[in-house]
Amino acid sequence: MKHGKPFAVVMFAVLLVAAPLFLNAYQVDVLNSIGLYGLLALGLNLILGEAGLFNMGHAAFYAVGAYTAAILNTRYQIPILWTLPLSGLTAGLFALAVARPVVHLRGDYLLIVTIGVGEIVRIALVNDIFGMTGGANGIFGISRPQLFGIVIRRPQEFFYLIWGCVALTIFLFLRLKQSRFGRALNYLREDEVAAEGSGINTAYYKLAAFGLGAAWAGMAGTLFAAKMTIISPESFNFWESVVLFMIVILGGAGNIVGVLLAAFLVIGLPELFREFASARMLVFGLVMVVMMVFRPQGLLPAGGGRFSPVTLARGRG
Amino acid sequence: MMEAPSGVPGRSAATATPLLTLQELTKTFGGLTAVDAVSFAVEEGSVIGLIGPNGAGKTTVFNLITGNYRPDRGRIEFAGTSLAGLRTHRIIALGIARTFQNIRLFQRLTVLENVLAGCHYQMRGGILAAMLRLPFQRREENDAMGRALKELEFVGLRQQALTLAKNLAYGDQRRLEIARALATRPRLLVLDEPAGGMNEQETEALIGLIARIRERGITILLIEHDMRLVMRACEKLVVLENGGKIAEGSPEQVRRDPKVIEAYLGTEDEA
């Protein structure tokens, strides 16, 4: 991001910050959706993009976070934003528990298991597990979030909350990428045997990737619950996991800017073409096919760019 | 700091316990006995070659040493510690580093990032330290980069630090693997066909590199088919055939051993 990366990124950021000033409520709400999917996709990117672990059940972690927040808020009157760390923790621990026995599975096998986990969670929620999730109707009456004494209710206000979280996530994940932890995930993706053979505890890092990516999904779940005030199992179905998977692959697995760009395209474009209602999914599918044929590595593929000649000089001495 | 025993077999064996000992090591795959009761020792500071025809079980021995496979029987001891049941990354941390027969680099990462993998286990910064960029984390990252660059300098790849590993020439990829292994600060370096696919000059340079690694006090165990390299670089050879050890000794002794000649050339009545 730092070293002479396109001017376009900065311009885009400025434009985005000012967006609520010249967009209507509906348009801002679309941006909010993009932000939420962006957060989820950045979390999934750690698992799928950086570590190369096929996870097609990310919506399960999203659901665990959203329900944790909703239950804590509606039953115990804990302010919704306060539940952020706890939702993240719950989703993270849940991910560790389910990933522990299956994470050694390779590629497509892991994919199938994670699809299963996603479905199990959704069905458990429909069946009103622990008598706390409200079944198919879900949970309603989640209170509005409050930040610095301001009650957040309008899309414009949510916009700054959500995109503030996205900005913080980008900042933290870029730092993570530039570290021992971030590199370890990449070693895992590139060659697991060589990674283990270079002294990296691959089993640990696989779990850590799942835990952290899921924790982020959990926190995104809190924001979702706060935004909707009603949550139900249908918000966390298989299609959500597929869309997130698609965003990461389309954007360029392991590339933060690429993933956000893909979130704009995958979530934003169908909204733009709402007039064509019935045809838009067709067009969308066509675009995906063309994309996979001509640019399978994604819009902005990862790779290189972690160190510049400038940072190299720091290592001297 | 460690004086290399200059090709005098038996000297270091007499003075200290060996760095690595294999005892009656056996590994079977289904009905096939890939390694059959193999025993030998690697003295500290020496360069030892493991040779034999294709399919003799050499790479399997390496995979047993580095914990990629578990032995069915037998013991492996490194510097007085049994390696039984240890996972590979733990064995690396004990001081054994390896390269692979069919080069295994992190292809889409830079040369520098590849070498930093070797520094990984000597660092401790986790998720939070990285996100908060704690002072110790910055320091260890800079130190690691310094060490990685030094290893690249050592193998002669410093200029390519920011090149993607997949874009390196074949011989350079082999040297990068060695640099990555050296970054783990090994006491024993295990090289699986380091000269495989190299031309004459590259092999010559490799022999020089092996000598310089040895000067650093690192013990080397290598598999190699290039007999010029083996004869010049190693002071002891262990010969495997069909999973079993058929000879052990100095290159001179091994070269004259009838069993070794038979294994490589076949007997007369066979032809």
Could you tell me if B193 and B204 lie in one domain? yes
Could you tell me if B129 and B47 lie in one domain? no
Q: What is the CA radius of gyration of chain B?
A: 19
- Nearest CA to CA, how far is B21 from chain A (Å)? 20
CB B62 within 8 A of CB B20: no
pTM of the prediction? Answer: 0.88
Structural domain includes residue B100: no
Structural domain includes residue B257: yes
Q: Looking at beta carbons, which residues of chain A come within 8 Å of B180?
A: 198
Could you tell me if B179 and B202 lie in one domain? no
Show the tokens assigned to B61: 């021995």
Sole residue written with tokens 């990933």: A99
Inter-chain residue contact A307 with B125, CB threshold 8 Å: no
By the CB < 8 Å criterion, does A202 face chain B? yes
Nearest beta carbon to residue A199 from set B105, B118, B133: B118
Side-chain-side CA neighbours of B269 within 13 Å: the count stands at 0
Q: Looking at beta carbons, which residues of chain A come within 8 Å of B66?
A: 197
Could you tell me if B18 and B90 lie in one domain? yes
Could you tell me if B256 and B151 lie in one domain? no
Inter-chain residue contact A307 with B162, CB threshold 8 Å: yes
With a pLDDT cut of 90, the percent of chain A lying above it is 58
pLDDT of residue B8: 42
> Of B154, B185, B216, which residue constitutes the final position of a domain?
B185
Of B64, B82, B109, the residue nearest B223 (C-alpha):
B64
For chain B, give the mean pLDDT. 90
Band of residue A279 on the pLDDT scale cut at 50, 70, 90: confident
Number of domains in chain B: 2
Could you tell me if B160 and B202 lie in one domain? no
Could you tell me if B4 and B91 lie in one domain? yes
Structural domain includes residue B16: yes
- Nearest CA to CA, how far is B69 from chain A (Å)? 12
Mutation to test the A interface, candidates B141, B176, B184, B185, most A Cβ within 10 Å: B141
Could you tell me if B207 and B226 lie in one domain? yes
Structural domain includes residue B47: yes
Could you tell me if B156 and B203 lie in one domain? no
Q: If DSSP states are collapsed to H, E and C, what string results for A1-25?
A: CCCCCCHHHHHHHHHHHHHHHHCCH
Could you tell me if B87 and B119 lie in one domain? no
pLDDT of B88 higher than 90:
yes
Using the Cα atoms of residue B17, residue B248, residue B228 and residue B54 in order, give the sign of their dihedral: negative
pLDDT in tens, A100-121: 999 888 888 999 999 999 999 9
Structural domain includes residue B58: yes
Range of the domain at B121: 106-185
Domain containing B89 — which CATH number? 3.40.50.300
Looking at chain A, the number of H-run helices and the number of E-run strands are: 14, 4
Band of residue A313 on the pLDDT scale cut at 50, 70, 90: low
pLDDT of residue A143: 86
By the CB < 8 Å criterion, does A317 face chain B? yes
Band of residue A61 on the pLDDT scale cut at 50, 70, 90: very high
User: Distance between CA B104 and CA A270 in Å, rounded?
Assistant: 42
pLDDT of residue B131: 95
pLDDT of A9 higher than 90:
no
**Residue with the larger pLDDT of the pair A238 and A315:** A238
pLDDT of residue A305: 56
pLDDT of B4 higher than 50:
no
Tell me the angle at which helices A238-251 and A58-76 cross, rounded to the nearest 10 degrees. Answer: 120
Band of residue A266 on the pLDDT scale cut at 50, 70, 90: confident
Structural domain includes residue B248: yes
| Antiparallel, parallel or unpaired: β A150-151 and A230-231 | unpaired
Mean pLDDT calculated for residue range A226-255: 91
pLDDT of residue A310: 65
> Of B137, B166, B185, which residue constitutes the final position of a domain?
B185
Structural domain includes residue B101: no
Could you tell me if B65 and B144 lie in one domain? no
A118-to-A52, A67, A123, B7 alpha-carbon distances in Å: 19, 14, 9, 63
Ranking A76-80, A305-309, B57-61, B266-270 by mean pLDDT, the lowest is B266-270
Inter-chain residue contact B145 with A314, CB threshold 8 Å: yes
pLDDT of A298 higher than 50:
yes
Q: How many residues does chain B have?
A: 271
Task: Compute the C-alpha angle A240/A244/A250, nearest 5°.
Answer: 140
> Of B144, B162, B185, which residue constitutes the final position of a domain?
B185
Mean pLDDT calculated for residue range B203-230: 94
| Antiparallel, parallel or unpaired: β B32-42 and B20-29 | antiparallel
User: Distance between CA B27 and CA B74 in Å, rounded?
Assistant: 9
Closest residue of chain B to A171, computed from CA coordinates: B131
Could you tell me if B114 and B66 lie in one domain? no
Nearest beta carbon to residue B130 from set A175, A198, A316: A175
Mean pLDDT calculated for residue range A229-246: 92
Structural domain includes residue B10: yes
Mean pLDDT calculated for residue range B151-172: 94
By the CB < 8 Å criterion, does A176 face chain B? yes
User: Distance between CA A72 and CA A93 in Å, rounded?
Assistant: 17
- Nearest CA to CA, how far is A56 from chain B (Å)? 24
Mutation to test the B interface, candidates A50, A175, A198, most B Cβ within 10 Å: A198
- Nearest CA to CA, how far is B183 from chain A (Å)? 9
Alpha helix (H) residue ranges in B156-199: 170-182
With a pLDDT cut of 70, the percent of chain B lying above it is 92
pLDDT of B106 higher than 90:
yes
